[in-house]
Structure 1
Amino acid sequence: MAQRVRQGLAEKRTAIVCGARRVFGRDGYTRTSIDAIAKEADVSTRTIYNHFPGGKAEVFRVVVEEGAAQVVQAHLDALDRRLHKVTDLEADLIAFIQAWAEPADRFPDHFAVARQLRAEVGHIPQELVDAWRRSGPQRSIEAAAGRFRELADEGLLDAPDPLRAAHHLFHLTLGEVNDRTCMGALPLPDQERTELITAGVRAFLRGYLPR
């Protein structure tokens, strides 16, 4: 009996988080209400407050943190699969960036929330913005910087500031991709995406290959 109750509670929580993610991604933080989340999740507002006593702010924090954790894991997998052992630096970096960008297609609801967060950043409590950064973008970029530090130690990159180098690589390769797709909201042909990433990697290497 107790196990069934726990399973039921877990299922309700999952329904709330998934429903809230869809609503936040569609309507943004400021326009979303607990009533809208309850309707989307097919639960009562009381059920939401039973799981999340902090109301909308707590639901939003959980939504962005859990979604960001999935993206970070995908980024760690990309680092492990594509940069664990480098044999052709240019080709491996291109494959790495392509793998790094895959979560945008795998987790569209999360990235819809991220787009809304960026658009409304001045109207969202700072602690929620900080929670998103800590749980997602900051962890991902720091993981990439750690691998870049190792590549520099191996003599493959001249990167005295690995964190800055990681930022440069992502801006050069995915900056235009994000601009053309409006942060993943619009489609981009695979060939065009590959061309943009390739051009960015080559520009990066002109600045970071050892002299």
Structure 2
Amino acid sequence: MTPAAAPRTTPENAPTGRPGKRAAIDCAARTVFGREGYSRASVDAIAAEAGVSKRTIYNHHQDKEHLFRAVVQQSSQAVAEHQEELIDRHLGDPGTDLAAALTALGHALAVPQTDFESHFALVRVIFAEAPYLPPHVLESWRGTGPGRVRARLAERLGGLVKAGVLRDRVAPETLALQFTQLVTSEVYERSFHGALPLAEDETTALVESGVAAFLALHGPAS
């Protein structure tokens, strides 16, 4: 049975003491950055949201850039762990109905993940302000988030190739890239990464169409 998700930390329910202040600061930073963007967000606004002094923030983080990178990395890791669990759950058994498993996984990855709303607000900031963000911040997000998830997907799809469930036509990394492009990318694009969630039937149609295209390319020969 999947363990229940831990309650989300907010400035109001964060524990007290130094670790509690750090949690409150990081939570407030996600909120403010997600709401105002990187360029417009100020350390003063984050301090007010967290209920701490500006100096307290600087005691934990060197500057705004380091704070943004830290909260992006934290939330990316949490989302990556969740999505890796979804991949393992749906693709862990080569004997299952492949089309059904891929469709279930695509839907699980594509629909808005409400436990991580603040993270996807940060993702929208990254896409909107990418030209103005330090390159190492972008690489940190890519490595700890999408890159990590795609690596797990490649691992599982490679296992399906070895089991003879998928055809051995391209490298596992390419399989993972094509699955993402065909099955989930259009949902992300149309919903603006969850900002404007799609109707259930539209999401289902996009996912099923993408899975059909993926299997036409890589499914077992009939």
Q: TM-score, normalised by structure 1?
A: 0.92
Counterparts of 2:124 and 2:199 in 1: how far apart (Å)? 21
The one of 49, 58, 75 equivalent to 2:66 is 58
Instruction: Specify the SS of the correspondent of 1:107.
Output: helix
Corresponding residue number in structure 2 for 1:3: none
What does residue 147 of structure 2 align with? 138
Partner of residue 21, structure 1:
30
The CA RMSD over aligned residues, in Å, is: 1.5
Q: Name the residue aligned to 2:159.
A: 150
The answer to whether the Cα contact below 8 Å between 2:111 and 2:203 also exists between their aligned partners in 1 is no
2:116 is aligned with 1:107? yes
Q: Is the 8 A contact 2:86 2:108 kept in 1?
A: yes
Unmatched segments (≥5 aa) in structure 1: 1-5
Whole-Å separation in 2 of the counterparts to 1:45 and 1:149: 49
Q: Which residue of 1 aligns with 2:218?
A: 208
Do the aligned partners of 1:74 and 1:100 also contact (CA within 8 Å) in 2?
A: no
Tell me by how many angstroms 1:103 deviates.
6.1
Asked if 1 retains the 8 angstrom alpha-carbon contact of 2:88 and 2:156, the reply is no
Match of 1:191 among 194, 201, 205: 201
Q: State whether structure 2 residue 174 is matched by structure 1 residue 174.
A: no
Secondary structure of the structure 1 residue equivalent to 2:113: helix
Q: Which amino acid aligns with 1:152?
A: V
Give structure 1 regions of 4+ aligned residues with deviation exceeding 4 angstroms. none
> Do the aligned residues in 1 keep the contact of 2:34 with 2:122 (CA within 8 Å)?
yes
Aligned length: 205
User: Residues 27-72 of structure 1, C-alpha deviation per residue, up to 9 Å, x if partnerless?
Assistant: 11111111111111111100001111x1111111111111001111
Instruction: State yes or no: 1:85 paired with 2:86.
Output: no
Larger relative helix fraction: 1
CA positional deviation for 1:102: 5.0
CA-to-aligned-CA distance 1:129-176 (integer Å, 9 cap, x gap): 111111111100011001111111111112431111111111111122
Gaps of 5+ in 2: 1-14
Deviations 1:89-125 (A, max 9, x none): 0001001112223563320110000111111111001
